[in-house]
Structure 1
Amino acid sequence: MIPIDKQRKKKVAIHVSNSDGKGTYPAKRAEIIARALTEVDVVFIRGDQSFPPPDGFPTVTIGSDSTLSRALAALKPDLLLRDSGSTLQEEVEKIQEIVPSIIHFDDFGEGGKLADLVLQTLYSDSNDKVPDHYVEGIESFIADENLAAFRNIGLREREPNSMPHLVISFGDEDAGNLTYRALRHMLQLQIPLKVTALIGENYSHDVSELRMMALGRRNTFIQVQPYNVTEMYASADIILCAAGYMPYEVAVLGIPCIILAQNDFELSLAFPKEQHGFTHLGAGRKVKQSSLLNAIMEPLLHDSLRKKAVKRQTSLGIGNGKDKVCEAILYFLDHPKRKPEGTSGKETSDMLQ
């Protein structure tokens, strides 16, 4: 038997790329996982659409996603953790020949059917049956430590006579400029309300237009980077946001939340709905002013509605997925689906089911 201290450490390769307008959460999730896997070697693979890797980890840079298989052939990792949107069957077939175990996050493509495990934190509102190796739902959502520090803050009692605070946040890019649309509607809201619009680092529209609108309404502010996102969310009495990962973050806090989907992909997602404590108004580009303003006023004017939304969110117990995800990764490192010579390993674990 080889002494434990002489055994080769297992290697995990992580590839994250910006896809489907998912914002920066995939990069944050990858860093949390990488820092938790203290017993293995972790290397990041960075492509043209990848986020900057976290400090302290070796990185391999590739010219495009088409060279991912070549990078993996050189690295020879024991497991690939991939968070790069919908994948293609042909590409994953090549990677299967190289990597013993493959885990994907939020993959709606044909390539996911060939992965060994797919963690669908984002999941569609569909009755279609998914393959057995897909794990859909909130169990895999990982809240970072800063967010966890404000867990269930919405259960606090509101200070009497304080001005309620609406935070508007449509992510890092806000490709459809829903911030502008929302602020334009907010100009017509006459109740006392502080409004803060958070502008992401890659917001490509004209910020000066937002500032001009903010001048037309009292207690309305445009906040550009740098700012502490978590603290801004936690200061809100109500949040207006997109339908991707942010509703999961809001549910950790427990704050009444209005959803405007940025695109058809977000429109199909099943989590940010009424049964989980959200008010979903559909596609943001089509929302009517009256619908948006009524949705904002209801939890502010009717405390019973606010408490109902907060209770539904906080009862989910969301955000504790780190240990389960890391346990799944370690399982596949110890029990790979494929051995180097191509023989089969053990079957997929059901530990996240």
Structure 2
Amino acid sequence: MVPIEQQAKKTIVMYLSITDGKGSYPLRRATLLANTLKTEAEIIFLHDPETLAPTTDFTCYEIEGPSSLIQLVTRLQPDLLIRDSGSSYKDEMAKLQELVPSILHFDDFGEGGQQADWVIQTLYTDTHEPLPNHYIAGFETFMVDSSLHSFRQAGLKDKPFSHSPHLVISFGDEDPGNLTYRAMRHIKQLQIPLAVSVVIGPNYVHDVSEIQLMALSRRKTKVLRAPEDRLALFAQADMILCDAAYTPYEVATIGVPCIVLAQNEFESNLGFPTESNGFTHLGLGRKVTQSNLLNAIMEPLLHEARKERAIKRQLKLQVGSEEEKVLEVIRYLLEFPKRKPAGYVTLRENRR
């Protein structure tokens, strides 16, 4: 592991912009990194108006648009810019390279990622085309919330004799395609004693009353507004119905049978939530048929061996096993900057 110089505390700016229906995981990832690195560097967050400030423990600035980002980075003069803001663009990256010695991107599918010094692709597409050498791709780079570890192998644990099968529905913070409603419309036709918990994300903008009415028409069905114990709820489930983005990574860390519906074409092309990794992927949620969804729900309930095989496939992946590599990349970029932008030393000396 590369140590950081202790003589002069360096500065990391983390720019967050929650896009493409990715939910709050990028904020949680940034907070995990910040809390790990706060004794080694000064951490400053930048975020756009649509993205909540991730924490009150660090300095946060709200920005509006690319010009605002450039202006603030010019003033702050960070040693490292960590960007978790969706796809980036060449023109903006060229300007940032003139200002920042090292740049790291998370989950960047844009052309600007070609100009970053490193790109961590936790989300990756199902393709055989080789990535550039400065890309690190794979589920191993998922930053695991420490609370998930206590729930490992939850799906393999014995349930009480009186336990009713429990399905948890969770389509992230936003659910832009309103797959929660679509799924509930089909599931209410299921005539078995299945308990259903419907998780409504904090940024859900659709009409919740329709979902609540469907829940009232079905026994053992409840609607939960952004519960704080969401991960504990996942661990109690016999199966989970969710999006195809970051939620499957959390599920695989715990080990619970999981049915995946993609919110959009982007999610449908992601390479992690596959059958070989222990998931039942039904494709685009807006196209799923009632029979396909209900059959997928019934399968782990009727076939114990298939259920256990799926869970063991998830757990075998060891999601998050390369967290330390992510931290080492950050420490390396701090210790060995890729560039010395014009005026960088003078500006930093004046700031100190």
Whether TM exceeds 0.5 here: the answer is yes
Structure 2 counterpart of 1:12: 12
Question: Shift of the alpha carbon at 1:318?
Answer: 0.9
Question: Shift of the alpha carbon at 1:161?
Answer: 4.4
**What letter is aligned with 1:28?**
R
**What letter is aligned with 2:82?**
L
**What letter is aligned with 2:97?**
Q
**What letter is aligned with 1:173?**
E
Structure 2 counterpart of 1:262: 263
Structure 1 counterpart of 2:175: 174
Gap change, CA 1:249 and 1:333, over 3 Å in 2? same
State the identity as a percent: 53
**What letter is aligned with 2:261?**
L
1-structure distance, mates of 2:216, 2:54? 39
Q: Secondary structure at the match of 1:323?
A: helix
Q: Is the 8 A contact 1:13 1:42 kept in 2?
A: yes
Question: Shift of the alpha carbon at 1:106?
Answer: 0.3
Q: Is the 8 A contact 1:14 1:43 kept in 2?
A: yes
2-structure distance, mates of 1:159, 1:114? 54
**What letter is aligned with 1:241?**
C
**What letter is aligned with 1:35?**
N
Q: Is the 8 A contact 2:196 2:220 kept in 1?
A: yes
CA RMSD of aligned residues (A): 1.7
Q: TM-score, normalised by structure 2?
A: 0.93
Q: Is the 8 A contact 1:258 1:281 kept in 2?
A: yes
Question: Shift of the alpha carbon at 1:84?
Answer: 0.2
Structure 2 counterpart of 1:111: 112
Aligned pairs, how many? 340
Greater CA drift, 147-156 or 112-121: 147-156
**What letter is aligned with 1:24?**
S
Greater CA drift, 150-159 or 305-314: 150-159
Structure 2 counterpart of 1:282: 283
Question: Shift of the alpha carbon at 1:156?
Answer: 1.4
Structure 2 counterpart of 1:351: none
Q: Using CA pairs below 8 Å that are at least 6 residues apart, which structure has the higher relative contact order?
A: 2
1-structure distance, mates of 2:5, 2:292? 63
1-structure distance, mates of 2:189, 2:255? 27
1-structure distance, mates of 2:157, 2:6? 52
**What letter is aligned with 2:177?**
G
- The within-5 A match list for 1:123-162 is 123-162=124-163
Structure 2 counterpart of 1:249: 250
Q: Secondary structure at the match of 2:191?
A: coil
Question: Shift of the alpha carbon at 1:5?
Answer: 9.1
Q: Is the 8 A contact 1:16 1:51 kept in 2?
A: no
1-structure distance, mates of 2:185, 2:321? 37
Q: Secondary structure at the match of 1:298?
A: helix
Gap change, CA 1:186 and 1:89, over 3 Å in 2? same
Deviations 1:172-210 (A, max 9, x none): 111111111111111111122101110011111111111
Q: Is the 8 A contact 1:33 1:322 kept in 2?
A: no
2-structure distance, mates of 1:227, 1:304? 32
- The within-5 A match list for 1:302-313 is 302-313=303-314
2:29 is equivalent to residue 29 of structure 1: yes
**What letter is aligned with 1:23?**
G
Q: Secondary structure at the match of 1:42?
A: strand
- The within-5 A match list for 1:197-212 is 197-212=198-213
Greater CA drift, 228-237 or 116-125: 228-237
Structure 1, unaligned runs of 5 or more: 344-353
Deviations 1:106-134 (A, max 9, x none): 00000000000000000011122211111
Gap change, CA 1:330 and 1:227, over 3 Å in 2? closer
